[in-house]
Structure 1
Amino acid sequence: MEIERRFLIDTLPNDALSHPFRMITQGYLNTSPAIRVRCDNDQYYMTYKGRKFKGSLAVEEYNLPLNKESYEHLLAKADGYIISKKRYLIPDQGYTIELDVFEGVHAPLIIAEVEFPSDEEALRYLPPSWFGEEITGKKGYSNSYLSAHTAPFSSN
């Protein structure tokens, strides 16, 4: 299960890109339900993202570890665009902001995600002043949507 809030970023604070980051590359084998393969630095896995739980921010999510060869085999079968991004990890109020700086066809898109243990904590969270429009639940900014589209992005 995943509970997160997502925000567009227009202007980064001066120190944002000085934080540790991971390189993420992912492709989608299916978008509804979302089935993706991901390389996160040197870890490989397949993720199933299912339905959103009614009345909640929570989304069903399952990860299956892969080896490099399986990842590369499945990535070659992915539909649409391969997503590449640097994910910076920024501490904030006891949480971690995952700042995704997209590369390639999705540049200059920047999205911040914050994950929470409960809906209540997610709803209480006060985003930093440098966060832009909240895009939680907006299909046009989901990674599965981005795998089939380039800029301009949609707030749907």
Structure 2
Amino acid sequence: MEIERKYLIHELPKDLEAFPSRKIEQAYLCIAPVVRIRRQDNDYYLTYKGKGMMMREEYNLPLTREAYEHLRTKADGIILSKTRYLLPLPKGLTIELDVFNAPYEGLWLAEVEFSTEEEANSFVPPQWFGEDVTFSTAYHNSVLSRGKK
């Protein structure tokens, strides 16, 4: 079970490059249910996501580079690319800050994953976070892959 909150970011932290980051490319084979492939640096995954907003089932399976490249040719819509920065928060939490490349250059989204629904509901975001878009499908990557932000 994935439990996460998602926020728009309007101004990036000034020291962003000091944090660990990953280069991500992802594409969608289906959006109902969500079936995604992802290259994260040199690792490859097939992901299934169930229905839901703040809480939903998520299963990740490893792929080979060859399988990823084969499935990539079958992707629907836009293949998304972004850099994900990992910023620590108190209580062992991590901000996953996604800085998107074209065609969504200038879109910055922060996600924070939690162990419990109670923890997610009581989360107080840092002041530099913008609007909470946890319950907006407009900012699901599967929707962005369709060009519908």
**TM-score normalised by the chain length of structure 2:** 0.95
Unpaired stretches in structure 2, ≥5 consecutive residues = none
SS at match of 1:125: coil
| 2-structure distance, mates of 1:135, 1:51 | 16
Partner of 1:4: 4
Which residue of the other structure, out of 58, 71, 77, is the alignment partner of 1:61? 58
Alignment of 1:89-104 (within 5 A): 89-93=86-90, 94-104=92-102
SS at match of 1:82: strand
Amino acid at match of 1:125: F
Amino acid at match of 1:36: R
| 2-structure distance, mates of 1:111, 1:95 | 16
**TM-score normalised by the chain length of structure 1:** 0.91
Identical aligned pairs, as a percentage?
Answer: 52
How big is the alpha-carbon RMSD for the aligned residues of Structure 1 and Structure 2? Answer: 1.2
| 2-structure distance, mates of 1:139, 1:25 | 20
Deviation of the 1:137 alpha carbon:
2.2
| 1-structure distance, mates of 2:81, 2:10 | 19
| 1-structure distance, mates of 2:28, 2:70 | 13
Which residue of the other structure, out of 124, 127, 130, is the alignment partner of 2:125? 127
| 2-structure distance, mates of 1:124, 1:107 | 31
| 2-structure distance, mates of 1:57, 1:11 | 24
**1:144 and 2:142 equivalent?**
yes
1:45-66 residue CA offsets vs partner (Å, 9 max, x unmatched): 10000122xxx83201111110
Deviation of the 1:124 alpha carbon:
1.3
**1:80 and 2:77 equivalent?**
yes
| 1-structure distance, mates of 2:2, 2:80 | 20
Deviation of the 1:17 alpha carbon:
3.1
Amino acid at match of 2:9: I
| 1-structure distance, mates of 2:99, 2:147 | 16
Q: Structure 1 runs of 4+ off > 3 angstroms? A: none
Partner of 1:33: 33
Deviation of the 1:15 alpha carbon:
1.4
Amino acid at match of 1:98: E
